[in-house]
Amino acid sequence: MKILVVDDHALVREGLRQVLKGLDEQVEVLEAPHCARAFELAALHPDLDLVLLDYHLPDMNGLEALGIFGKKHPELPIVMLSGSVNPQIMRQVLARGAAGFVTKAGMSDDLLSVLQRVLAGEVYVPAEVLAAPGTPALEGSHGRAPPQLTPRQEEVLYLLLDGRSNKDISEILQLADETTKSHVSGILRAFRVQTRVQAVLAASHYGYTKSAPSI
């Protein structure tokens, strides 16, 4: 398992390195003090499993960084870290494609629980966001009719909700890799999003769950 920690404080990075051993004693932790270095490391390590990204960084904020990660590494899950407990920021971060949002004031066990869920393919939405009245799961999705998906696209979507990779989906549905990519791209267009994580969030908003029909 390989995880990239992006934070401008060396003590925070070292603390997270120790905490992450709770996921796997052999976890390899890469460290970046700013986004520029984080993008370099992500390009050098295409086998990254997860990124822990601080919201406040010297060279750009978390929302900008998420946009760049989303374009360059759309399947890489990003969990945002912040000292702020602001539901509006949380909603913006999730809407931009983060797989989760964790406050630095939380306990280590809570962080590990969130990361385990994200690594299993889930999107973690904090209780503060769920409790906020009248909050759509994705910016701009409120009031829009559900997208019209083909039966095959729905099968692919349920597997995305289950955290399956494109390779897994191709094997399960007996599709060519390019065909699977085409269906995933069609789903992103239908939900008007750019990443798989955003598609999962949007699908949840429209009532899709992991309880898929038999495939």
Which is nearest to 190 in space by CA: 144, 159, 126, 158?
Answer: 144
Q: What is the mean pLDDT of residues 91-108?
A: 84
* Global model pTM greater than 0.85: no
Q: Give the pLDDT confidence score for residue 137 in this predicted structure.
A: 46
Model confidence band, residue 140 (pLDDT cutoffs 50, 70, 90):
very low
Question: Can you tell me the distance from the alpha carbon of 182 to that of 12, in angstroms, rounded to the nearest whole number?
Answer: 40
Run of H or E including 91 = helix 87-95
DSSP classification of residue 83: S
Q: Which domains does the chain have, with CATH numbers?
A: 2-131 (3.40.50.2300), 136-215 (1.10.10.10)
Q: What is the mean pLDDT of residues 29-43?
A: 95
> Which two structure tokens, joined as six digits, stand for 35?
């986004």
The DSSP code sequence of 166-212 is HHHHHHHHT--HHHHHHHHHHHHHHHT-SSHHHHHHHHHHTT--S-P
Which is nearest to 213 in space by CA: 147, 146, 154?
Answer: 154
Model confidence band, residue 129 (pLDDT cutoffs 50, 70, 90):
low
Model confidence band, residue 93 (pLDDT cutoffs 50, 70, 90):
confident
Run of H or E including 102 = strand 100-103
Average pLDDT, the chain: 84
